[in-house]
Structure 1
Amino acid sequence: MLTPVVDEDGAPFWEYAARGELRIQGCADCGELRFPPRPCCPHCQSFAAEWRLMSGRGRIWSYVLPHPPLLPDYAAQAPYNAVVVELADAPRIRLVGNVVADPDAALDSVDPGRLRIGAGVRVAFTDIDGTAVPRWLLERG
């Protein structure tokens, strides 16, 4: 499995994830959210930052089912999904991940026929090599 590369700007994201919290970096001056994390606000050029707690809810903005797998380590799980999730609390923020049946399930644990653009999802975290990684669960209804 691929593990995230944690840099100085993104370290708080992963620290909050380890606590089961989805937080997004925002500008402490103008209030704009930004992802991926970076030192300077692209809107007002401030270096003042804060981390805002998100609800963890969103919707599938886009998705793909890679055929064949691009990386050999994923061959046993194909076909799996890769989704772009638009956050409910911050529609301009989109995160990439996978929709799974439960936080620790395999990447192929959700029938691809259940995926739809606009489908509601909620975040869940799983441990991959000591790092809490966000994944997405389909909302019911």
Structure 2
Amino acid sequence: MAYGKPLPRVTADNRPFWDATKRHELRLQRCGACGRFRYPPAPVCPGCLSEDAEWTRVSGRGTVTTFIVMHRVYFESFAGDVPYHVVQVELEEGPRLTANLVDTPNEQITVGMPVQAVFDDVTPEITLPRFRRAG
């Protein structure tokens, strides 16, 4: 069955991120001048304004900083998932990603929960990063 939910729009700026997720790797832009990681991708570093950046593999380990459980249907493609959750994870390297947790019931999600990135091959072109409880 086809994946019926919205997919990310792949652009020249974010293509290295999505290419890495297809390989089940998490890679983020890192400033070549000051070393700061940044997400989402940007043409200049928000810290030092350098245009020098490289795509660096990160650990995928992080901590849930906040979450929400959706009880209403805002998008028809998610109707069968209600109630579902969305979490924000602060990676060990600093940036925060918004995603879902897998294999974790809504009532067991807590702020401060350690998590690890996992990958969901939703189409041949797109692999979504998600997270799983660590430890």
**Normalising to structure 2: TM-score of the pair?**
0.91
Aligned partners of 2:57 and 2:91: how far apart in 1?
Answer: 12
Aligned partners of 1:67 and 1:116: how far apart in 2?
Answer: 18
Aligned partners of 1:94 and 1:43: how far apart in 2?
Answer: 16
The aligned counterpart of 2:106 is 112
Q: Which runs of 4+ in 1 moved over 6 A?
A: none
| Superposition map of 1:30-49 within 5 A | 30-49=34-53
Root-mean-square deviation (CA), in Å?
1.0
Q: How far apart are residue 65 of structure 1 and its match?
A: 0.5
Aligned partners of 1:121 and 1:58: how far apart in 2?
Answer: 5
The aligned counterpart of 1:86 is 90
The aligned counterpart of 1:26 is 30
Q: What is the aligned counterpart of 1:136 among 123, 131, 135?
A: 131
Choose 123-132 or 113-122, whichever is displaced more: 123-132
Aligned partners of 1:127 and 1:133: how far apart in 2?
Answer: 6
Aligned partners of 1:59 and 1:3: how far apart in 2?
Answer: 25
Name whichever structure is richer in strand by fraction: 2
Say how many residue pairs are matched: 130
The aligned counterpart of 1:122 is 116
The aligned counterpart of 1:105 is none
- 1:7-62 deviations in Å (ceiling 9; x for gaps): 11111001111111111101111111111001111222211111111111111110
The aligned counterpart of 1:106 is none
Matched-pair identity in %: 36
Q: How far apart are residue 87 of structure 1 and its match?
A: 0.4
**Amino acid of the structure 2 residue aligned with 1:95:** L
| Superposition map of 1:51-66 within 5 A | 51-66=55-70
Gapped regions of structure 2 (runs ≥ 5)? none
Gapped regions of structure 1 (runs ≥ 5)? 102-109
Aligned partners of 1:28 and 1:69: how far apart in 2?
Answer: 43
**Normalising to structure 1: TM-score of the pair?**
0.88
Q: How far apart are residue 69 of structure 1 and its match?
A: 2.1
**Amino acid of the structure 2 residue aligned with 1:69:** V
Q: Please say if 1:6 is aligned against 2:10.
A: yes
Aligned partners of 2:89 and 2:73: how far apart in 1?
Answer: 21
